[in-house]
Amino acid sequence: MTPAFHPGEIWRDTNGLPINAHGGGIVRHDGVYYWFGEHKVEGEAGNLAQVGVHAYSSTDLLTWKDEGIALAVEDDPLSEIARGCILERPKVIHNPRTGKFVMWFHLEIAGAGYSSARCGVAVADVATGPYTYLKSVRPNARHWPQNVAPQFKQPLNADERACVKELVLPGGPVQNYPTDLLYRRDFENGQMSRDMTLFVDDDGTAYHLAASEDNGTLHLSRLSDDFLDTTGEYVRLFPGHFNEAPALMKRRGIYFLITSGCTGWTPNPARLFKARTIWGPWAELGNPCVGTDAQKESTFESQSTYLLPVAGKPDAYVFLADRWRPENAIDGRYVWLPIQFREDQPVIAWQDSWDLGFFDPA
């Protein structure tokens, strides 16, 4: 049987085992695609990191070879990546200047729920690792966002601090969300960073994009030349709009961003944005999904994780998403769908099965 993508069905690697790489991302190097994702285990315990980041390799995006655990959680309970931490949405990029593969991921220190809101950073000399854990960071400490007015580049005063202390911020939309307080609260110790992605532009500049400010506002940050840190150059995007699961792509000089709303593991309608320069302005274009109401409302029962350009095929991009199963995390499924362009705008439609021939001219 010719291999094909079967969105939402169990997808087996070349050993016949279900691929275990959730919330993942893909880097292509020397003609090979490498898929990195969260290794999940059975049950609700699988929502915490029990194993680490799993790597697979492929040359055709359909058949994937198990390359093992690229970054393992550690046994030392004092380690920041101790077993039982939350380690989500790992993304790897290659740095041609240093020759290193650099992995960033959303890190929550074990036992602290989602309150740490940090980025973990790890490096390796070869794509499949093993990766060495370097550090965790809260991005852009002691830097102000570039797109706020001068009067808002001020630490909180005593009244504002008291006001922030009273807030209950559950990570999803709340009434009276304070759009101008939270990044100022976090000025000194660094900005919150939960769902995240990395993006390398044509000029080699790398960016980190993450749900910040208790998920209410995305922060887009430029990475340092070695890709190991943020530079302090960053903008706030869509304050108070509660976007997460960000995924970025660029087509014909236009940047497209797909996100979800913040409803935990439960799917919600995807959101599409576009910009002519990465720093914005970004325009919101609505839901990129087409199909039945149920498909549009649930993004085909999934949540975005990555937008993948297909090498050698112009205008070919794949929407990578997760169908989470928090009650049995290992059974989460992958929903990969081709992105189509209608009047130069990305559109995503359900396919029961498809292959890369989808992108060939009719």
> Interface residues with ligand DGJ (CB under 6 A)?
23, 88-89, 195, 244-245, 264-265, 303
Q: 56 burial class (0-12, 13-18, 19+ CB within 10 angstroms)?
A: buried
Which of 187, 306 has the CB closer to ligand DGJ? 306
Smallest gap from Cβ 20 to ligand DGJ, in A, equals: 16
342 DSSP β-pair partners: 345
User: Between β-strands 217-223 and 230-237, what pairing exists: parallel, antiparallel or unpaired?
Assistant: antiparallel
Which of 24, 288 has the CB closer to ligand DGJ? 24
Which of 107, 348 has the CB closer to ligand DGJ? 107
The distance of Cα 78 from the centroid of its chain, to the nearest Å, equals 26
Which of 57, 288 has the CB closer to ligand DGJ? 288
Region label for 99, one of left (φ > 0), alpha (ψ between -120 and 50) or beta (otherwise): left
Smallest gap from Cβ 301 to ligand DGJ, in A, equals: 14
Smallest gap from Cβ 260 to ligand DGJ, in A, equals: 7
Smallest gap from Cβ 247 to ligand DGJ, in A, equals: 11
Residues 6+ apart with CB under 8 A from 9: 333
Which of 23, 359 has the CB closer to ligand DGJ? 23
Which of 264, 291 has the CB closer to ligand DGJ? 264
Which of 140, 303 has the CB closer to ligand DGJ? 303
Smallest gap from Cβ 109 to ligand DGJ, in A, equals: 15
Q: Which residue is nearest to ligand DGJ (CB)?
A: 264
Cα 306 to Cα 249: distance, rounded to the nearest angstrom: 9
Smallest gap from Cβ 206 to ligand DGJ, in A, equals: 21
Smallest gap from Cβ 89 to ligand DGJ, in A, equals: 6
Residues 6+ apart with CB under 8 A from 11: 18, 19, 64, 333, 334
Smallest gap from Cβ 142 to ligand DGJ, in A, equals: 27
Cα 107 to Cα 87: distance, rounded to the nearest angstrom: 5
Residues 6+ apart with CB under 8 A from 79: 73, 133
Amino acid identity of residue 189, one-letter, is: N
Which of 94, 194 has the CB closer to ligand DGJ? 194
